[in-house]
Amino acid sequence: MSVVIWDLDTDKVINRLKEGKRIDERAFDEYREIKLQKQISENADGSARVQLGETDIIAGVKFELGKPYPDTPEEGTMSVNSELLPLASPTFEFGPPSVESVELARVVDRGIRESKCMDFKSFCIREKELAYTANIDIYVVNYAGNLFDASAFAAIDALAETKLPKVEEDKLVAGEYSGKLKLSRKPILGTFAKISNNIVLDPNLAEEKAMNARFSVSTTEDEMLCAFQKGMGGSFTSAELSSMLDIALKKGKELRKLL
Amino acid sequence: MPRTIVTPGELITSERKKLGSNVHMHEGRIYSTCIGLVEEGTDFINVIPLEGRYRPMIDDLVVGIVTSERFGGYGTDINSYYPAYISRKEVDESLRPGSIISAKIAKVNEINEVELMNVRVFYGGEIISVSPVKVPRIMGRNNSMLELLKQGTNANILIGKNGRIWAKGGNTKLLEKAIAKIEREAHMENLTNKIADFLRAENKGAGAPISAANGKIPLEQTKHADSRSMEMSEGRDI
Amino acid sequence: MSKKKEVLEYVDKEGKRTDGRKADELRAIKIEAGVLPRADGSAYLEWGQNKVLAAVYGPREVIPKHHANPYKAIVRYAYRMASFSVPERKNPRPGRRELEISKVSGEALEKAIFLERFPNTAIDVFVEVLDSNAGTRIAALTAASVALADAGIPMRDMVSGVAIGKISGNLVLDLNKHEEDAPDAVDMPLAVLPNSEEIVLLQMDGLLKRSDWENAFELGMTGCKKVYELQKAALKKKYEIANGDEQK
């Protein structure tokens, strides 16, 4: 049954694209409307909610203390986890994280980590012994396409509001903070879908079902690219890559202004 | 002239030719879709595969192993993508999981599901597994290789197109060796003569010249199978 | 030794890297097709210190059945690292990194295979990394592509890959572990269909300039074409060996 519905949607998306139009009338390089809400959780060290069209994401940051990795004894670290909540879509289920969820978390992680926006050295409390870990948890509340960009945007937005908890006697003090988390860059993820031979930015749900290839790139304000991820069974040419990189840099600037 | 070996995606020709099997055209050029040997005629081009699973074709004779009882019939492993189906009407005696059968492919649907007919049950003997793409070589042109194997080993042999060879009686050890040699050298020239030499040398080495009665089982038991395999095989000498 | 000399130089004035390679030079690659008797297709590959074993089973029945696609075969790719393949023992259970690599690698193979010819079936690809030194996902994918061809699965093209890197501002091919650990290193695994030069796998970590992309891709393509030639040679060699035996 779901297969039949899927095909009807897919046909509609492809036919509209043939006429040079997207099913929701957006330009090929246009994002859906973005709504931002900051500090949605009092207990979180930082949090944000992002709505990208109907896609709805909540991101929260919580610090923990731990031992630094042996190969980086003077650094703390970060980790990203994502939960595709069953309340977000009829296709999401409880259980161990799906491959899709793992990929989402890892792409968001790389987009932030590789931009080197956080100074992990400043996370170190005592060399080889104690350091902060920033846990960024992404909760998908409604799935309507392009979880990648919405999640990355929610994550960086939450980080921008994050405060570092106070440490006393090697323990975190609840509700007390020693200052704001410093971010030297604000990376923005841009995700494209290739549908037959058209490439569109920020695919919605129907477009995601019709897409045969996906590409995401994380960009920074100093015009650097800091993570790529190509997904799905289709392919891209080098020229298509060039044009996606240009659009992502341009759109990244626009999105960054919303933060 | 030795045939050229090509790999998937390798360009075979930019000339206009009729597309045979295992080739595809992209922007006017013809590429191979598998590892295989190029067979080029004046107006057509083929690649004879050197590897691959058995793709069921209507009328093929196959050797199967019954794996399950199903409603009104049996599920049978024919070394393809799915188990094939045998209707109870197609068999005179009842089958059990583990029964070894030969059968003709009656139907193949668009998703490669198979129904079998003309089912015969085998008792005893053994099954030699080979790569299905090598079966034409093991049969030889006009069954020349099959005849050679029968004479050289005194075994009763039935070759299923699905890469399963049923053999009983005679020198099955030698048969296995000879078949392994054919499989290994399937892409080479003059194979029939090489195998004839091989069988002769092996038989001499063993010090036991083949006698017509040596280890041979009564013909009745497998006659149908033998004659049928001959009718239906079209061995191609490559 | 003066203190100055201790500063790590990843590419010297002559363009040589710390292991003596030139910028566009790959580590030594050895590929052998058809190494596992039970598999429908298989390959063993060494790429520098990396060693991987790949096996292909199928097309075969999909279990569980609801995973099957009625229009085409599905590709199930499992990239795994052996517990001893890294300096510190790795938990043999697959981690998130392995799951992600498996996903993008399986997807990279899809366009190369005529999947629509085998509806309702699965093509299973298993790759085990036995030893590692940076670049294992590309080594695994390269071996997997040879194993697919060795299984006789109909394909449009092979999938050939290489990692492009940037160290101390220089674009280079095929980073080793030492180079990958450089503080400013950029690592960009790329896999293409060599005939059409279409990109089927692309990832990147690190900070790259926009203007680097075109040069990086061009450099990557030269590497992919070299790898492609080695893949072809490995597949053909399997049959040359049989020829050689006969002549003895």
pTM (predicted TM-score): 0.90
Three-state helix/strand/coil letters over chain A: CHHHHHHHHHHHHHHHHHCCCCCCCCCCCCCCCEEEEECCCCCCCEEEEEEECCEEEEEEEEEEEECCCCCCCCCCEEEEEEEECHHHCCCCCCCCCCHHHHHHHHHHHHHHHCCCCCCHHHHEEECCCEEEEEEEEEEEEECCCCHHHHHHHHHHHHHHCCEEEEEECCEEEEEEEEEECCCCCCCEEEEEEEECCEEEECCCHHHHHHCCEEEEEEECCCCEEEEEEEECCCCECHHHHHHHHHHHHHHHHHHHHHC
Question: Does B51 lie at the interface with C, CB-CB under 8 angstroms?
Answer: yes
Domains in chain B: boundaries: 5-49, 61-122, 126-232
pLDDT, tens digit (0-9, with 9 covering 90-100), for C159-211: 999 999 999 999 999 999 999 999 899 999 999 999 999 999 999 999 999 99
Distance of residue C240 Cα from the nearest chain A Cα, in angstroms:
34
CATH of domain B61-122: 2.40.50.140
pLDDT, tens digit (0-9, with 9 covering 90-100), for A123-175: 999 999 999 999 999 999 999 999 999 999 999 999 999 999 999 999 999 88
Query: Which domains occur in chain A, in start order?
Result: 2-258 (3.30.230.70)
**Contact indicator for A244, A225 with CB cutoff of 8 Å:** no
Question: Which of B37, B53, B79, B134 to mutate to test binding with chain C, by most C CBs within 10 Å of its CB?
Answer: B53
Of the partner residues B26, B82, B133, the one whose CB lies closest to the CB of residue C152: B133
pLDDT, tens digit (0-9, with 9 covering 90-100), for C98-141: 999 999 999 999 999 999 999 999 999 999 999 999 999 999 99
Question: Which of C113, C141, C166, C208 to mutate to test binding with chain A, by most A CBs within 10 Å of its CB?
Answer: C208
Question: Which of C243, C245, C247 to mutate to test binding with chain B, by most B CBs within 10 Å of its CB?
Answer: C243
**Which chain A residues are closer than 8 Å to C163 by Cβ?**
none
Q: Do chains B and A touch (3 or more CB pairs under 8 A)?
A: no
Task: Look at residue B204 in the predicted model and tell me its pLDDT.
Answer: 84
C121/B52 CB distance under 8 A: no
Mean pLDDT for chain A overall = 94
Distance of residue B218 Cα from the nearest chain C Cα, in angstroms:
35
Residues on A contacting C at a C-beta cutoff of 8 Å: 3, 97, 99, 102-103, 105-106, 110, 114-116, 215, 220, 223-238, 241-242, 245-246, 249
Mean per-residue pLDDT for C1-21? 72
CATH of domain B5-49: 2.40.50.100
C232/B194 CB distance under 8 A: no
Strand runs (DSSP E) across chain B, as ranges?
5-6, 11-13, 18-19, 23-26, 29-32, 36-40, 44-49, 61-70, 73-77, 84-87, 100-108, 114-122, 126-129, 156-159, 164-168
Mean per-residue pLDDT for B162-183? 94
**Which chain C residues are closer than 8 Å to A103 by Cβ?**
99-100, 103-104
* Residue B21 pLDDT class (50, 70, 90 cuts): very high
Give the angle subtended at the CA of B25 by the CAs of B20 and B27, to the nearest 5°: 160
Q: Is the pLDDT of residue B233 over 60?
A: no
Of the partner residues C103, C193, C201, the one whose CB lies closest to the CB of residue A99: C103
B82/C151 CB distance under 8 A: no
**Does B5-49 match B61-122 in CATH topology?**
yes
C103/A230 CB distance under 8 A: no
Task: Look at residue C242 in the predicted model and tell me its pLDDT.
Answer: 58
Distance of residue B171 Cα from the nearest chain C Cα, in angstroms:
24
What crossing angle do the helices spanning B191-205 and B172-184 adopt, rounded to 10°? 150
Task: Look at residue C243 in the predicted model and tell me its pLDDT.
Answer: 57
Mean pLDDT for chain B overall = 85
Which secondary structure element, helix H or strand E, spans residue B150, and what is its range? Answer: helix B144-153
Distance CA(C25)–CA(C132), nearest Å, equals: 19
Q: Is the pLDDT of residue A3 over 60?
A: no
pLDDT, tens digit (0-9, with 9 covering 90-100), for C137-158: 999 999 999 999 999 999 999 9
**Which chain A residues are closer than 8 Å to C104 by Cβ?**
103, 229-231
CATH of domain B126-232: 3.30.1370.10
Residues on C contacting B at a C-beta cutoff of 8 Å: 40-41, 58-61, 70, 112, 114, 118-121, 148-158, 193-196, 231-232, 235-236, 239, 242-243, 245-246
Record: fold of C28-247? Ribosomal Protein S5; domain 2 (3.30.230)
* ipTM for this prediction: 0.92
Of the partner residues C151, C158, C242, the one whose CB lies closest to the CB of residue B7: C158
